[in-house]
A = this chain, B = another copy of it.
Amino acid sequence: MTSLLIKEVVHKDKIVDVYIENGFIQQIHEKINKPAGEIMECHGRKAILPAFYNGHTHAAMTLLRGYADDLPLFEWLDDYIWPAEAAFTPKHIEAGARLACLEMIRSGTVFFNDMYWNPPVVIKAATDMGMRICTGPIALDAYESGSRLSQQKDREDFLQEMKSYSDLFIPSLNAHSIYSVLPETLDTIHSILEKYDLYFHIHLSETQKEVEDCLKTHGCRPVEYLDKIGLLTPKTIAAHGIHLTDRERKILERKSVTLVHMPVSNMKLSNGSFDIPAAEKAGLQVILGTDGASSNNCLDMMGEMKTASLLAKHAWEDVTVLPAEKVFHMATRAGAEAFGLHAGVIEVGYLADAILVDLKNPRLVPGYHLVSDMVYSADSSCIDSVICNGRFLMKNKKIEGEEAILEEVAKWKISDSKPHRYKDN
């Protein structure tokens, strides 16, 4: 049994003590006098807030941060990203995933929903560092003959092994997209999901081309296609969802699908704008994600909150769209609940996932409204400590083992081909 007592911390404009035991918030009170395994004194200088839940990542791609930017799509993929990824070993994936975890913890994130090769390595990286993760094997078998069988083997191994992983792990099956996965594989995935009650994670309607190809191939739009084959459920997490009709939104709402909005990636790759007002009107469940470091290039949910709100105001010419409280909810409680976590809010009975922010950081001063400050002004320099499942992942800005992870990353940095260089300034 582990316990943690946080003393004199600001919570909803009051100074309180917070007592955490066995991973849950057990008590919030003006003054708690109780022995605890660990005590954190805040002297009223720090506030406690929910941590962030990152709805869509390719964590290991952090190893390619800044490797190639500002290039046309196919030059970017063909000449840089794909050749680099093709050379990845499990060691590369482990180093990239651990670097991603470092960065996410420093910016207050305790959970990510990941889509990448070799999930056991990523699961170990995340849970070793104390983070929650949802992931599983990826299907991407429409391009290479033989990949279907080997990926089916990965899925079978995963189903055998998934129970042996940490309690911080939530299993899923990933399908890259409707255009990159064989229809028979989607059927197989459907059967496994039904049998094992797992999450299902897919890129959906990210580009107009995907929609047009689907209409040509399947005679219907992407959401309709997934619905037909039974892949839309309350455990479906659909990343992007930019090019949707109202009819598709209605289907997604009826099936209680969760959509992941990623404004930074959508802007950086010129993919268009997720339609916030239409999603709200349809009553859709929307959470936030950062996407991978090749299209962002950081995994910072605070940047994502600000950009989400700015883009919505810009795109719909309405300054009242996506106010701070709403986008903060998307990044915290809505993100947790989408994955069945009773978390994302600082209240008794909830999972003890939290951040402590430094109220003396100039970006949070004068301090009229903490949530507005977190969305529109904060950055990772404001985050002092991060707690997940009642344990410190970062305490007073220190993360255990950080230096060793950075040394490992230096070893696995891609060096055999030249990264893209800009002309001199």
Whether, in the assembled complex, A243 has its beta carbon less than 8 Å from a beta carbon of chain B, the answer is no
Say which residue of B297, B311, B320, B371 sits within 8 Å of A314 (CB atoms). Answer: B311
> In this complex, what residue of B is CB-closest to A266?
B314
A282 at the interface (CB under 8 A from B): no
> Complex Cα distance A414/B328, Å?
25
Q: How does the 8 Å CB contact mask read for A317-339 relative to B, with 1 for contact and 0 for none?
A: 11110011100110001000000
Task: Choose among A320, A381, A425 the residue with the greatest number of B CB atoms under 10 Å from its CB.
Answer: A425
Please, which residue of chain B has its CB at the minimum distance from the CB of A325? B422
Most buried by B among A71, A303, A422: A422
Q: Please name all residues of chain B whose beta carbon is closer than 8 Å to the beta carbon of A64 when the two chains form the complex.
A: 368
A103 and B425 contact, Cβ closer than 8 Å, known pairs A268-B319, A269-B319, A379-B381? no
A265 CB, nearest partner CB in chain B, Å: 10
Determine the distance from Cα of A372 to Cα of B421 in the docked complex, in whole angstroms: 10
Interface assignment of A40: CB less than 8 Å from any CB of chain B? no
* Complex-state Cα separation, A410 to B365, whole angstroms: 8
What's the nearest-Cβ distance from chain B to residue A180, in Å?
A: 21
**B residues in contact with A269, CB < 8 Å:** 313, 319
- Expressed in whole angstroms, the Cα–Cα distance for A102 and B362 within the complex equals 7
Instruction: Tell yes or no: A70 within 8 A of B by CB.
Output: yes
Bound-state CA distance A267–B423 (Å) is: 30
- Determine which of B65, B270, B272, B314 lies in contact with A319 in the assembled complex, contact meaning CB atoms within 8 Å: B270
Is A373 located at the chain interface by the 8 A CB criterion? yes
Distance A52 CA – B73 CA, assembled complex (angstroms) = 30
Determine whether the beta carbon of B313 is less than 8 Å from that of A267: yes
Q: From residue 383 to 407 of chain A, which have CB atoms closer than 8 A to chain B? A: 402-403, 406
Of residues 331 through 382 on chain A, the ones whose CB sits less than 8 Å from some CB of chain B are 333, 345, 360, 362-363, 365-373, 376-381
> Which chain B residue has the least Cβ–Cβ distance from A101?
B362
Q: Are B66 and A377 in contact (CB under 8 A)?
A: yes
- Chain B residue numbers with a CB within 8 Å of A65 are 365-366, 368, 373, 377
Q: How close is A292's CB to chain B, nearest CB, in angstroms?
A: 12
A372 near B297: Cβ-Cβ < 8 Å: yes
Question: Known contacts being A69-B372, A360-B406, A380-B379, is A366 close to B413, with CB within 8 Å?
Answer: yes
- As a 0/1 sequence over residues 53 to 93 of chain A, the CB contacts with chain B under 8 angstroms (1 = contact) are 00000000001111101111100100000000000000000
